[in-house]
């Protein structure tokens, strides 16, 4: 038998060991608890940071302007979708240098200038593209921290392509209008001066001159009327009176109005629009569309030729109408431009025919106001067919 003291010592040692094991397990449990709390806090922090970055990215992506942010090392830190579209960026460019990301020396030059001056405004940048150059205006600035030290750089790109296109269109329009007005005015002034200088005393000459003056005065009248019409169409001042329109009757009205003009060129006008063809359209404006198309077909078609107005059911609750002539046709390179204001395939021939250069532009605007489309099909030497669609229901 063991002595009592030995037994007591063993018991005390066992109790101590048990207490140590319990304390150890408690300490381990506390360490695990703290670790779990730390991990939970870390995950919450990462999630909050991810949400913040996502919100920041969503904010940048919602901007129409292209935005790019560089860090202090000159590497891309943030870029939005608008900038990616402007520069045709594919893939993630974050972490790359400016030259690696965009490969444009002009942009790197802008960055260098910004780092020196701290800010650059209205930097013009031309980007070549498949559909023509894109014009950008870039503002850039150095980003400073609370301590005043440089933290990076931000670039904001504004796409001015559409504005420049509109400005060029406006300039061309003013130049064309000035030319179109000046030509008949010069003719009128010249004939009037000749009459004053003595031609008025020669009845045959005076009559001829007055007829020419009347012709050019009419040309001015038509030009001004067409200018007013296209201006009102573009500004939305003309409201379409949409209702059920019987297309055969509208086409017949146009055929009757232009019959004498066609007879002067020995042109046959045929109305082949089915009697039951209907559209949801403004009959008066539709008549203007067909009048312009048939009038052009008579002017530019061949003498003794035929002009046909036709129609058939289209897709998606639409009806398709067309005007066909058997004239010289339209070259492929001109077919996409014939609906532009004042565009002429043959400038000399168009002016001799008395056109204002606005008829097809008016056609396009009226058709588009109905929700339809208009286009031309032609082969040189085989005539031209102008087609357009209209809705059949509201």
Instruction: Break the chain into its structural domains and give their ranges.
Output: 61-159, 241-394
Q: pTM higher than 0.95, yes or no?
A: no
Element (H, E) at 212: helix 203-235
Mean pLDDT computed over every residue of the chain: 85
For 241-394, which CATH class? alpha beta
Q: Using one digit for the tens of pLDDT, what is the confidence trace for 59-95?
A: 666 788 899 999 999 999 888 888 988 888 888 899 9
Place of tokens 């509208």: 250
What was the pLDDT predicted at 288? 93
pLDDT at 150 over 60: yes
Most confident segment among 23-27, 53-57, 193-197, 248-252: 248-252
CB 383 within 8 A of CB 325: yes
CB 154 within 8 A of CB 165: no
Q: Tell me the two tokens of residue 151.
A: 């933290």
pLDDT at 301 over 80: yes
Burial 62-75 (b: 16+ CB within 10 A, else e): eeebbbbbbeeebb
Q: How confident is the model at residue 130 (pLDDT cuts 50, 70, 90)?
A: low
Q: Taking CA 105 as the corner, what is the angle to CA 99 and CA 108, rounded to the nearest 5 degrees?
A: 65
Dihedral (C-alpha) 337, 339, 342, 345: value to the nearest 10 degrees? 50
Sequence-distant (6+) residues with CB within 8 A of 45 are none
CB 137 within 8 A of CB 123: yes
Mean pLDDT in residue range 106-129: 90
CATH superfamily membership of 61-159: PAS domain (3.30.450.20)
What was the pLDDT predicted at 353? 52
What was the pLDDT predicted at 5? 60
Mean pLDDT in residue range 43-58: 71
Place of tokens 């003595």: 198
Q: Taking CA 73 as the corner, what is the angle to CA 68 and CA 78, rounded to the nearest 5 degrees?
A: 25
What is the percent of the chain with per-residue pLDDT over 70, rounded to a whole number? 89
Burial of 106 by CB count in 10 Å (0-12 exposed, 13-18 middle, 19+ buried)? Answer: middle
Of the two residues 223 and 110, the one the predictor is more confident about is 110
pLDDT at 391 over 80: yes
């Amino acid at each position: 038998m063991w002595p009592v003291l030995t037994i007591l010592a063993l018991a005390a040692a066992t109790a101590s060991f048990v207490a140590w094991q319990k304390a150890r397990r408690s300490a381990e449990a506390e360490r695990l608890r703290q670790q779990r709390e730390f991990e939970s806090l870390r995950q919450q922090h990462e999630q909050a940071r991810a949400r913040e970055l996502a919100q920041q990215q969503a904010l940048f992506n919602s901007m129409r302007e292209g935005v790019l942010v560089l860090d202090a090392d000159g590497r891309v830190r943030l870029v939005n979708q608008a900038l990616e579209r402007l520069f045709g960026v594919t893939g993630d460019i974050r972490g790359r240098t400016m030259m690696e990301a965009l490969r444009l020396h002009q942009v790197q030059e802008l960055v260098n200038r910004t780092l020196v001056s701290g800010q650059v405004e209205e930097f013009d940048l031309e980007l070549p593209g498949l559909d023509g150059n894109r014009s950008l205006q870039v503002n850039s600035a150095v980003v400073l921290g609370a301590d005043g030290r440089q933290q990076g750089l931000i670039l904001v790109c504004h796409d001015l392509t559409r504005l420049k296109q509109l400005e060029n269109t406006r300039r061309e329009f003013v130049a064309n209008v000035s030319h179109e007005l000046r030509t008949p005015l010069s003719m009128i002034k010249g004939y009037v001066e000749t009459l004053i200088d003595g031609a008025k005393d020669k009845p045959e000459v005076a009559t001829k001159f007055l007829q020419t003056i009347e012709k050019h005065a009419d040309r001015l009248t038509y030009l001004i009327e067409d200018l007013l019409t296209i201006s009102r169409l573009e500004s939305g001042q003309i409201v379409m009176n949409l209702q059920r329109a019987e297309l055969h009757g509208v086409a017949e009205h146009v055929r009757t109005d232009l019959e004498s003009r066609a007879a002067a060129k020995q042109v046959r006008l045929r109305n082949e629009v089915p009697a039951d063809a209907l559209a949801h359209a403004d009959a008066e404006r539709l008549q203007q569309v067909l009048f312009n198309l048939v009038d052009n077909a008579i002017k530019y078609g061949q003498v003794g030729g035929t002009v046909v107005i036709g129609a058939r059911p289209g897709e998606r609750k639409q009806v398709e109408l067309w005007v066909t002539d058997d004239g010289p046709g339209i070259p492929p390179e001109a077919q996409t431009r014939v609906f532009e204001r004042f565009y002429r395939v043959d400038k000399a021939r168009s002016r001799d025919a008395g056109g204002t250069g606005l008829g097809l532009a008016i056609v396009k605007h009226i058709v588009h106001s109905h929700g339809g489309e208009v286009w031309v099909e032609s082969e040189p030497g085989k005539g031209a067919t102008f087609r357009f669609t209209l809705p059949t229901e509201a």
